[in-house]
């Protein structure tokens, strides 16, 4: 049988088609609606609407607040967990890693529902602490995304460097701040990226936790529900631009870190 070799270009065609159909085209439509009014005329009014409306700006700030709180909570919980897993403090590190990651296999709404029940037993009524409950829900949901990259970067950490720091007079605390933390920076960066961005938009958790405050995701949803596609698209585009900026920044940070011997996912 005659063997026919595909060139790299030919192999890329399906992927390019996919990108065109499901990424470029929808984005172009979103951008088109963002910069037009209901009559289809070009306008910057949607853009101005977002930044002149106290409610929408407030939603942006609230989203950022939730995302920051969630990311911090994840980081604080995930770092020691990843350390224990990677350094094999317990004899079955791999099995423990599974335990940390398996919740991801269960449907996300199911997980949050279960958490909700537990929280209502503890708090009595979920409506008392909407912000706290949202952060707890998101932290629970996103924790594995923080553990995994941290685990990888701590696993790859050269223990010789920790010994060198101790040799040069560093006590345990100093070793952590001056050596371990910088070495695990690439893992922290990718973990933060993977938690912060979804936390800004994931309004399902809010809904389920009876948090009636809007975040960016719910805001966009509400505009589309009222057939205001133009303003909805503009908010989506603004969020997109912010996410792009953030990824670019963290990508730059993470890249310089990983080249210096750390790890990234």
Partner 1 sequence: MERKENIIELKNIKKCYDKDVPVIDGFNLEVQKGEFVTFLGPSGCGKTTILRMIGGFEFPTSGRILLSGKDISSLPPNKRPINTVFQKYALFPYLNIYDNIAFGLKIKKLPAKEIRRKVRRVLDIVDLEGFENRKVTTLSGGQQQRVAIARAIVNEPEILLLDEPLGALDYKMRKEMQLELKQMHEELGITFIYVTHDQEEALTMSDKIVVIAHGRIQHAGTPEEIYQKPKNPFVADFIGESNIFNGFMTGERKVTFCDAEFDCVDEYPVGTKVDAVIRPENVILTDVSKGKIRGKVISSVFKGNYYEVTVQSDNYEIVVQSSVPLKREEETGIVFTPSVIHIMPYDMTKNHYSGTFDEEFMIHLADGVLVPDLSRLYPNSVLEDNVLYSKEGRQIKVDGTRIEISFESKDAGLSDDPEEGLVQGKIVSIIYKGDHYSYTVRSENDLDYYVNDEWLWNIGDYVSVVVPEEKIQYRLNGGFV
The residues binding partner 1 (CB under 8 A) are 158, 160-161, 163-171, 174, 178-179, 182-183, 185, 257, 259-262
Nearest approach in angstroms of CB 184 to partner 1 is 11
Instruction: Give the residue with the Cβ less far from partner 1, 15 or 167.
Output: 167
Nearest approach in angstroms of CB 185 to partner 1 is 7
Nearest approach in angstroms of CB 246 to partner 1 is 22
Instruction: Give the residue with the Cβ less far from partner 1, 99 or 181.
Output: 181
> Who's near 179: CB < 8 A, 6+ residues apart?
161, 162, 165, 170
Instruction: Give the residue with the Cβ less far from partner 1, 123 or 260.
Output: 260
Q: What is the CA radius of gyration of the chain?
A: 23
Instruction: Give the residue with the Cβ less far from partner 1, 97 or 175.
Output: 175
Nearest approach in angstroms of CB 261 to partner 1 is 4
Instruction: Give the residue with the Cβ less far from partner 1, 68 or 162.
Output: 162
Instruction: Give the residue with the Cβ less far from partner 1, 36 or 264.
Output: 264
Q: What SS3 string covers the chain?
A: CCCCCCCHHHHHHHHHHHHHHHHHHHHHHHHHHHCECCCCCECCHHHHHHHHCHHHHHHHHHHHHHHHHHHHHHHHHHHHHHHHHHCCCCCCHHHHHHHHHHHHHCCHHHHHHHHHHHHHHHHCCHHHCHHHHHHHHHHHHHHHHHHHHHHHHHHCCCHHHHHHHHHCCCCHHHHHHHHHHHHCHHHHHHHHHHHHHHHHHCHHHHHHCCCCCCCHHHHHHHHHHCCCHHHHHHHHHHHHHHHHHHHHHHHHHHHHHHHCCCCCC
Nearest approach in angstroms of CB 158 to partner 1 is 7
Instruction: Give the residue with the Cβ less far from partner 1, 92 or 259.
Output: 259
Nearest approach in angstroms of CB 160 to partner 1 is 4
Nearest approach in angstroms of CB 186 to partner 1 is 10
Locate tokens 């990888």: which residue? 152
As a whole number of angstroms, the distance between CA 161 and CA 151 comes to 18
């Amino acid at each position: 049988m005659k063997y026919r070799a595909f060139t790299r270009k030919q192999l890329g065609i399906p992927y390019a088609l996919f990108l065109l159909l499901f990424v470029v085209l929808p984005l172009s439509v979103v951008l088109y609606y963002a910069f037009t009014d209901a009559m289809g005329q070009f306008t910057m009014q949607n853009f101005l609407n977002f930044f002149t409306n106290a409610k929408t700006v407030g939603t942006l700030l609230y989203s950022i607040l939730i995302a920051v709180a969630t990311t911090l909570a994840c980081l604080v919980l995930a770092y020691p967990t990843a350390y224990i897993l990677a350094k094999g403090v317990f004899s079955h590190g791999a099995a423990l890693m599974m335990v940390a990651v398996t919740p991801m296999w269960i449907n996300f709404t199911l997980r949050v529902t279960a958490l909700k029940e537990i929280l209502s037993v503890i708090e009595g009524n979920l409506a008392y602490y909407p912000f706290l409950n949202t952060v707890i829900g998101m932290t629970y949901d996103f924790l594995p995304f923080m553990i995994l990259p941290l685990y990888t970067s701590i696993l790859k950490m050269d223990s010789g460097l920790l010994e060198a720091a101790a040799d040069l007079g560093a006590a345990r605390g100093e070793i952590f701040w001056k050596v371990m933390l910088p070495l695990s920076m690439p893992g922290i960066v990718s973990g933060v990226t993977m938690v912060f961005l979804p936390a800004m938009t994931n309004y399902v958790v809010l809904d389920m936790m009876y948090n009636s405050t809007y975040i960016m995701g719910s805001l966009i949803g509400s505009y589309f529900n009222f057939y205001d596609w133009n303003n909805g698209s503009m908010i989506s585009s603004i969020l997109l631009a912010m996410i792009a900026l953030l990824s670019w920044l963290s990508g730059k940070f993470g890249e310089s870190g990983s080249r210096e011997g750390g790890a990234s996912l």
